[in-house]
Amino acid sequence: MAAQILDGKKIALQIREEVAVQVQKFYEIKRVQPKLVAILVGDDPASAVYVRNKELACKKAGIAGEVIRLPHQTTQIELLAKICELNDEDTCHGILVQLPLPAHIDTRTVLDAVAPEKDVDCFSPVNVGLMSQGRPRFLPCTPHGVQQLLGRCGIDVQGKHVVVIGRSDIVGKPTAMILALPTGPFGKSNANATVTICHSQTQDLASVTRNADIVIAAIGKARFVTAEMIKPGACVIDVGMNQTPEGLCGDVDFDRVSQVASAITPVPGGVGPLTIAMLLRNTLIAAETQTN
């Protein structure tokens, strides 16, 4: 049996079009254009591409996108001063600090400096706390993208056993949290799952994942999840993005797992495109709340 391929590109496009319509309506009522400012420190080529893609996506949605490019040798104090300036700037609604930062800068200190109401990545402890209490200001982009992808593909997580492999602050932990929340935070969305979180110290990982109705892989290891780890008919969401000599690939052995699963995301073209779509949505929410 070949799995249904979950087309993240198509769903991301749908969401981006919805956001563009809402941005236009918001502008007509408030005469305010939502604005996202991305800060890029250093010259990491992958980060430069990510930031450029976000800038283009903003433009297509009618959101003003600005990139502040700072040299590698920027000090932590200089970066914090720039963030404070943006926190106080009324025309800037969302601030995004592109990661990774150079090693001489403490990432946590910098992320904590972003005003919570402009923290469109949802990294601030205030926003993570609100999310965990089921009253989010924003939802983190990649986990929210996973939730939207599942919901819009007709895969209901309610009451299902979801196994998340990975417990990072960016992907694993918040994905587990939002799927386990009792109600969908933004209208009717996918929630109420029974969630297990696995990590590098989990014993006999395959015996846990084989019990899952839905496996979400956020590990950062190419083709780590094999067909033997998947219950026949389960759904598999691959968040991984790994550069290999053969090109970009996910954390899941797509060719073999797609013979066992009922539905699977490809890499590229699965979760990745959803992340930017949800960032645009958060920027609109930020503009709406700061304008009201």
d(CA 222, CA 129): 32
Helix (H, G, I), strand (E, B) or coil at 279: helix
Interacting positions 210-229 with ligand NAP (CB under 6 A):
218-221
Contact with ligand NAP (CB under 6 A): which of 94, 185, 266, 272? 272
Contact with ligand NAP (CB under 6 A): which of 36, 105, 261, 271? 271
Contact with ligand NAP (CB under 6 A): which of 202, 226, 259, 290? 202
At residue 243's C-alpha, the angle toward residues 227 and 65, to 5°, is 115
Least Å from the CB of residue 135 to ligand NAP: 24
Which of the residues 22, 35, 54, 119 is marked catalytic?
Answer: 54
**Order of strands across the sheet that contains 94-97:** 64-70, 35-41, 94-97
Which of the residues 22, 82, 121, 238 is marked catalytic?
Answer: 121
Least Å from the CB of residue 239 to ligand NAP: 4
The reply to whether 284 sits near ligand NAP by the rule CB under 6 A is no
Contact with ligand NAP (CB under 6 A): which of 33, 53, 168, 194? 168
d(CA 47, CA 54): 11
Contact with ligand NAP (CB under 6 A): which of 87, 192, 194, 242? 242
Which of the residues 35, 82, 98, 238 is marked catalytic?
Answer: 98
End-to-end CA distance of the chain: 52
Q: Name which of 240, 239, 229, 179 is nearest 202 in CA terms.
A: 229
Kindly determine how many residues on this chain lie close enough to bind ligand NAP according to the rule CB under 6 A. 25
Q: What are phi and psi of 28, to 5 degrees?
A: -60, -35
Piece of 12-20, 26-34, 126-134, 269-277 that binds ligand NAP (CB under 6 A): 269-277
Contact with ligand NAP (CB under 6 A): which of 209, 275, 282, 283? 275
Interacting positions 113-152 with ligand NAP (CB under 6 A):
142
Least Å from the CB of residue 165 to ligand NAP: 5
> Which helix H or strand E contains 244, and what residues bound it?
strand 242-244
Least Å from the CB of residue 68 to ligand NAP: 22
Tokens 């290999």: give the residue: 244
Runs of H (alpha helix) within the chain: 8-30, 45-61, 76-88, 107-113, 125-132, 141-152, 172-180, 205-209, 254-257, 272-291
Contact with ligand NAP (CB under 6 A): which of 136, 143, 166, 266? 166
Token pair for 55: 């800038």
Is 24 catalytic? The answer is no
Token pair for 290: 């700061």
Is 121 catalytic? The answer is yes
Is 54 catalytic? The answer is yes
Sign of CA dihedral 233, 237, 242, 245: positive
Residues of this chain that bind ligand NAP (CB under 6 A): 142, 165-168, 170-172, 198-202, 205, 218-221, 239-242, 271-272, 275
What positions carry a catalytic annotation? 54, 98, 121
